[in-house]
Amino acid sequence: MRFFFDKNTWQEIFGSIGKNRTRTIITVIGVLWGIFIYIALAGASKGLDNGFERNFETVAKNSLWAWSQRTSIPYAGYKIGRSLRLRVGDAQVLRNRIPDIEYIAPINTKGVFGGEGAQVVRNLTSNNYPVYGYVPEIAKMATQKIYDNGRFINEEDTENIRKVCVIGERVQQELFEKDEEPVGQFIRIDGVYFQVVGVHKFTRTTPFGTDGDIYIPFVTFRNLYNTGDNAQFFTIAAYDDADVVQVEKDVKRVLKGIHRVHPDDERAFGSFNLGEIFSRIMGFARGITFLSLIVGLATILAGVIGIGNILLISVKERTKELGIRRALGATPNEVRSQILLESVFLTMLAGIIGIILGAGVLSIINKMTEDNTDFPYTNPTVPIPLVIGALLVMVVLGTLIGLIPAQRAVSIKPIDALREE
């Protein structure tokens, strides 16, 4: 230990570094670049990971949507091409038969999948907006952010078939004055007055949502547009530990049974599995993380090899000096330790600077992208254990690579070293 804390040891290291300043700087940059790339890549991939998480955070990640289409296989006396319609009652059957379903909600819409939206009028302003018939369970699946003292559609709205609505931010901006409180005000949707009970911030609760959406109670929608027992699609959330892909298959299987559709008819019901998409995206993000780890480590290795190289040259240049030291009583171990310490010191120095620079760049990128919610990138961080791990890998590699010049330094006889010019 004396060796590490002795001024001479560090004088020796700084002396050697100072003598070959340019080459040392270039070499340090090699390792610095390696750890910088490692930190930047690891942080960027974590930022991507967090970005995807953020973009999906407003909706249950294990949710899926199912809707009806036309049959493609004749079955049980029905011809091919039969148009199917989901019924509200199907939801209860699905919930009963598939235990992995936590929530299921029927949804009807106007102006979402083609066709004009509802005509919405307030005072002298009117516009067309998509309208959704929602049940209160939707709030449990997709966390709507209500503000201005507003609320989401609740059970009482459903029970009393209230004419209430939650409007999107764009609807508010277009129909209300800037400093006007929309909650409690009335708007006319396709000729019927609705009271605004809340304003939702735009969150992608469905793959097709916009900030111009208006939500009204499902039963009110049914009465307004005379949809009867029909549901345009179901939105389903499975339990956290459920296999969403299997739930999707089960939903289609049960629906085929209810609507007497051939079991092999793949076109009869459509679905969109957010859970599957989410896990694919997260798998992609994990792949990027792994790749960044490999690339970062490979770059660090290249840098450390550079340090080994400079030390080999440095040892060659200092052969005579090492000979003098040995003539004065330096043991091979002391010479070896000195060279090794140089290697470890350079590696550590480069590593720490690289980490600081990497963290700085990540912080700048974070600042530049934090307001851009469309870009799936936020809070790029590198876990401390990964940073410490990288430093440890560097120290180990620095030590191993330093062994080569250290061994070369002691393999020369003192008498030969002293003769060296």
Partner 1 sequence: MIEIKDLHKSYKMGSNTLHVLKGINFNVKEGELVAIMGSSGSGKSTLLNILGMLDVADSGEYRLDGIHIKNLNETKAANYRNKFLGFIFQSFNLINYKTALENVALPLYYQRVGRKERQEKALKYLEHVGLKEWSHHLPSELSGGQKQRVAIARAMVAEPKVLLADELTGALDSTTSYEVMGLIQKINDQGNTILVVTHEDDIAHMCKRIVYLRDGVIVEDKEIEQVRASEYVQ
Binding region for partner 1 (CB under 8 A): 2, 6-8, 11, 15, 18-19, 320-321, 324-334, 410, 413-415, 418
One-character DSSP codes across 132-155? EEE-TTHHHHB---EETT-----H
- Which CB, 13 or 387, lies closer to partner 1? 13
- Which CB, 61 or 325, lies closer to partner 1? 325
* Burial zone of 7 (CB within 10 Å; 0-12 exposed, 13-18 middle, 19+ buried): exposed
Task: Say which amino acid occupies 233.
Answer: F
Q: What φ, ψ does residue 193 adopt, rounded to 5°?
A: -75, 130
Q: How far is the CB of 4 from partner 1 (least distance, A)?
A: 14
Residue spans of beta strands (DSSP E) within 190-240: 192-200, 214-217, 230-231, 233-238
Q: How far is the CB of 323 from partner 1 (least distance, A)?
A: 8
Of the candidates 107, 113, 97, which has an alpha carbon nearest to the alpha carbon of residue 63? Answer: 107
How many CA atoms lie less than 13 Å away from 172 in the CB half-sphere?
Answer: 25
What is the rounded distance in angstroms from the CA atom of residue 331 to the CA atom of residue 93?
A: 85
What is the rounded distance in angstroms from the CA atom of residue 130 to the CA atom of residue 108?
A: 11
Q: Print burial letters for 92-129: b (CB count within 10 Å at least 16), e (below 16).
A: eebeeebebbbbbbbbbbbbbeeeebbebbbeeeeeeb
Q: How far is the CB of 10 from partner 1 (least distance, A)?
A: 12
- Which CB, 2 or 178, lies closer to partner 1? 2
- Which CB, 124 or 328, lies closer to partner 1? 328
What is the rounded distance in angstroms from the CA atom of residue 3 to the CA atom of residue 190?
A: 86
Question: Alpha-carbon dihedral of residues 283, 289, 295, 297, nearest 10 degrees?
Answer: -130
Q: How far is the CB of 331 from partner 1 (least distance, A)?
A: 4
Q: How far is the CB of 316 from partner 1 (least distance, A)?
A: 17
With H, G, I as helix, E, B as strand and everything else as coil, classify residue 48: helix
- Which CB, 162 or 325, lies closer to partner 1? 325
Q: How far is the CB of 356 from partner 1 (least distance, A)?
A: 29
Q: How far is the CB of 25 from partner 1 (least distance, A)?
A: 18
Q: How far is the CB of 382 from partner 1 (least distance, A)?
A: 38
Kind and range of the H or E run holding 333 = helix 332-369
Q: How far is the CB of 2 from partner 1 (least distance, A)?
A: 7
- Which CB, 77 or 329, lies closer to partner 1? 329
| Beta carbons within 10 angstroms of residue 198's beta carbon | 21
- Which CB, 122 or 326, lies closer to partner 1? 326
Q: How far is the CB of 401 from partner 1 (least distance, A)?
A: 23
- Which CB, 246 or 331, lies closer to partner 1? 331
- Which CB, 275 or 414, lies closer to partner 1? 414
- Which CB, 200 or 326, lies closer to partner 1? 326
How many CA atoms lie less than 13 Å away from 308 in the CB half-sphere?
Answer: 19
What is the rounded distance in angstroms from the CA atom of residue 80 to the CA atom of residue 293?
A: 53
Long-range contacts of 407-411 (CB under 8 A, 24+ apart): 407/336, 408/312, 408/315, 408/316, 409/315, 409/318, 409/319, 409/322, 409/335, 409/336, 409/339, 410/332, 410/335, 410/336
